[in-house]
Structure 1
Amino acid sequence: MITETETAFLAVVRAFLTEEKAALGELAALTEKQWNHLFVLAAQHSLLPAVYDVVGKTPEFAELPDELRRQVKTQAMQSILQQVSRTALFLTDEKELEQLGVQPLVMKGIVCRSLYPKPDLRPSGDEDLLIQAKDFAAVDAYFMRKGFVRDKEAAMPDGTKDGIVPEEMGYIHPKTGAFYEIHTRLFSTESSAYGYLNRAFSDVFAHPSRVEVQGQSIFTLEETHHLFYLLCHSFKHFLHGGVGIRQICDMVQMIRIYGRKIDWEMFWQLCEEYHMTCFCINLLDIGERYLGFSYEASGAVRAAKKLRPDSEALLIDILDAGSFGKSSAGRIHSANITLYAAETGAEKHTAGGIWKSLVPEASYMKNKYPYAARYPFLLPAAYVQRILKWLGQGGKEQKSSIEVGAGRVELLKKYDMIRTADGKKRGDAHAGRIQREK
């Protein structure tokens, strides 16, 4: 069961999403220690500004120690100011990219923020843009001219070579802190755990949607595919260590705003094809039970497949995970155990999963150890460094990562997120087309 503090946290998030004005009875019984934990949860899930906006004027908050109230307010306001600044910078950069003849599709980030009643209170650390591979050189040159630095410089020290285009590249500005992730593929094709998901988005540039953000029109995914992308993105993070409650809020808000524009027959068809139905039904059950989501009020259609939601175990994992499953070292180190299970169909924690955690794919190692990307002959040294680091953690930490991984493999089984025993690939029948008339 979730704790009193977690119940209060979810009630506050619900009040923010729905602009609820009624007093929150869940706050009345919280001790100072529980209030501290509530704010820790809010920070871990990147929702501190939203939580402060709801509780900051309550009588319960006013009774907390001055230092705690001051600290929470300061952190919340700093986050808001950073978000306002980054939004303004992004809109400028996005417009300039369009003037260069590049038409990016804006993912998550600013698009998800625009779904909230108070967009600047839903912070995000970066902006994601999907571009066509043919445009990468122009986009890379643009960011270099603007003074950005590639976050994977070791993997591409001299820019693109021989026409090779990376699937993902991050750009950070050392002065403004603006950070963009540029994608030519939504999911890494090197990952057998989720690389196949790209098939569902193969023609999204042919059918984009426009959204208005602060008076500027930007392109993003068509609504049905955007909701499915948010689900797939949550699935990816779930495999990597955990998905936080903010990503569930994004899905809920997407449906609240665009529920009547979404082709629900197509959406549930995609969920079936990619074995996401059980996962999605339970995520939306969390939305119904705790976040004020309503199928009927939003115009959403329930899945034809009759599955009885059982979301408690999923919610407990989500609350423990934080925004991107990085709430603890044990959870971070367990990620490759769950990835191994998703890749191979292994239905229980095995020695292979532990080995996969210690010796992941070369692409993963090159991201984690830049010297191995710049000098491939040093890749074996990177593996040795990783293994020694794990061995040096001590028995308690090693046991923790294994236990977390084993428990999360059980969740993959419970929510039907492991490949079928016959090895059938998900999404084989899907050609990525928008299957309705525009």
Structure 2
Amino acid sequence: MNILNCTPGNYELILTPFAALSAARQQPELYREMLMNIFLFFPLGLTLSNALPRKWHRWGRIILTTFVGCILSAGIEYTQYRCALGLAETDDVICNTLGAFIGSTSLLIAHAIEKSRERVRHTNMTLTTTETQFLHIARAAISGSDLPIEKVDWPAVFALAGQQKLLPILFEAVRKMPAAGENAALFAVTKQQVIGQVLNQTVRSAEFADLYRKLRSAGLHPIVVKGQLCSHLYPLKDHRISADDDLYISDAEFMACHEQLLANGLTTDTPTDELATADEVSYTKNGSPLYIELHRHLFDSAEDAHDELNHFFTDINPVEMDGFLAMPPHEHLLYLILHAYKHFVRSGIGARQFCDIGLWAREYHAEIDWQRLHEQCESVHAATFAAAAFRIARDYLGIEFDLPAPWSDAVDAEPLLHDSLCGGVYGSNDLTRLHSSTVTLNAVKASRTGEKSSVLRTVFPKREYLERRYPYLKKRPYLLPVAWVQRLAHYASEKQSGADSSASGSIKLGKERIELMKRYGIMD
């Protein structure tokens, strides 16, 4: 087949297919030549099929690669015949084409391996016994269904409820069960925890309501999102525990609202020269459980993965709701979904977010434009995620509401639910998960721009990602290498202190969660 080294000779041509097979019975050496012709084009099939665009179907790439191999081989044989450089055989073309085809079937092997890994991942994402028991009780607490009669691992269930910030809600449903007497010490300790959490939440709600009235009296129009509005949907509103209260205000009133918060005894750590551009500013009050987040934008405009979400909320006409200014029900449900979506992309969400979404959808069902909601979610790759959230609320938490077309509840929601229960509220259960957000955010950004995410970018993230942790980068961006060193040193100190965190562990978890995001259409 090496036409460049052959000396011109006779014009020899064999067009009969498989003629070499019959000749090989007398000349076994021909079998080896046929195998060599197959192996000769194997690298072409392997390389070309994997080099073609991945968005093409694998069988399309295989067929095209095989066709190219056939044409190339036929061209070589034709050249041999025309230049009288050797024997031109149809069998050579057949063997070369077969070699290209076999090489291209590496796509099928890779697909089979990926499916196998996906089955393993799915197995690892099934609900545990504790998670199942927790969901059974949560369903009873939120929707009024029957409590479990089987034996419950109460320490594990209460621990999981605490991680999900649902302990008061669950405890209220089970505190009079016979199990309370059988586990008197555990229930007594848990009761004290619940009393403390509910009392703290009651004080927080009262102080927030008083502060909000003062802001309105000052002529301001802050919009309340999540917490205080969602709590009214629960059987006992102060049993929904929240860490902060969120206010969304126009840029025109931002500084005036900031001054009013300071005048009412709240303080902030945000430097004065950053107030003019900050997306959000946090405030606390000495001796008070109040923790206020004042938002100029609902989503961080510095994050490429989330800035696209802000345009849905630029022209909000607020409505009165439970004594507060609020977004209309449709926009607030969209925000609850996208807020959960944002945290899922970073490091995870908790079961309470599914409760909020489901209870809001049920309470304001008639005021939701379900078609438009689907289009809005679909435009930011969140439609399948939202459908899974709705299914969790309906099927696992018992919150009944109709899900009209084009929404579908056929999506497999269990992997998302398992990830949420493992990660806790906003993925805060362990440092490994929190640190994995660099991996997932980098991957989502890359998928939006068509680029390929890299481990290097994960280890050395952009300045915008590190600014919150290392504020000096805002004024001195040239110190980014210093921040990288600090970050790596922080990883090392966490590992030495025995904290559940490591760079390799974060990258591994991040890759697993990327596959989960692909499952829900967030990434290609």
**Into which bin does the TM-score normalised by the smaller protein fall?**
0.7 to 0.9
Q: Could you say which residue in structure 2 is the equivalent of 1:326?
A: 428
Q: Secondary structure at the match of 1:278?
A: helix
Equivalent pairs, count: 395
Alignment of 1:124-143 (within 5 A): 124-143=242-261
In 2, Cα distance between equivalents of 1:225 and 1:74: 38
In 1, Cα distance between equivalents of 2:259 and 2:189: 41
In 1, Cα distance between equivalents of 2:389 and 2:265: 41
Deviation string 1:161-196 (CA, Å, 9 cap, x unpaired) is: xxx232100101121131100001111111111110
Which deviates more, 169-178 or 378-387?
378-387
Q: Could you say which residue in structure 2 is the equivalent of 1:39?
A: 158
Q: Secondary structure at the match of 1:413?
A: helix
Aligned pair partner of 1:385 in 486, 490, 495:
486
Which deviates more, 380-389 or 402-411?
380-389
Which deviates more, 341-350 or 141-150?
341-350
In 2, Cα distance between equivalents of 1:348 and 1:16: 45
- 1:370 deviates by 3.7
Matched, 1:166 2:300: no
Q: Structure 2 length as normaliser, TM-score?
A: 0.71
Alignment of 1:7-406 (within 5 A): 7-20=132-145, 22-25=146-149, 28-30=150-152, 34-66=153-185, 68-151=186-269, 153=270, 156-157=271-272, 160=275, 164-204=276-316, 207-212=317-322, 217-296=323-402, 301-304=403-406, 308-345=410-447, 352-373=453-474, 378-391=479-492, 393=495, 397-406=502-511
- 1:364 deviates by 3.0
Q: Could you say which residue in structure 2 is the equivalent of 1:415?
A: 520
Letter in 1 for 2:222: P
- 1:374 deviates by 6.3
- 1:294 deviates by 2.4
> Percent identity of the aligned residues?
32
CA contact (8 A) 1:347 1:410 kept: no
- 1:306 deviates by 5.3
Q: Secondary structure at the match of 2:502?
A: helix
In 1, Cα distance between equivalents of 2:521 and 2:338: 14
In 2, Cα distance between equivalents of 1:248 and 1:284: 7
CA contact (8 A) 2:427 2:433 kept: yes
- 1:4 deviates by 1.7
In 1, Cα distance between equivalents of 2:214 and 2:274: 21
Q: Structure 1 length as normaliser, TM-score?
A: 0.85
Q: Secondary structure at the match of 2:371?
A: helix
Change (3 A) 1:307 1:113: closer
In 1, Cα distance between equivalents of 2:287 and 2:418: 39
- 1:5 deviates by 1.3
What's the RMSD between the two structures over aligned residues?
2.3
Letter in 2 for 1:91: A
Q: Could you say which residue in structure 1 is the equivalent of 2:79?
A: none
- 1:308 deviates by 2.9
Q: Secondary structure at the match of 2:426?
A: coil
Letter in 1 for 2:141: F
Change (3 A) 1:83 1:271: same
CA contact (8 A) 1:106 1:128 kept: yes
CA contact (8 A) 2:358 2:390 kept: yes
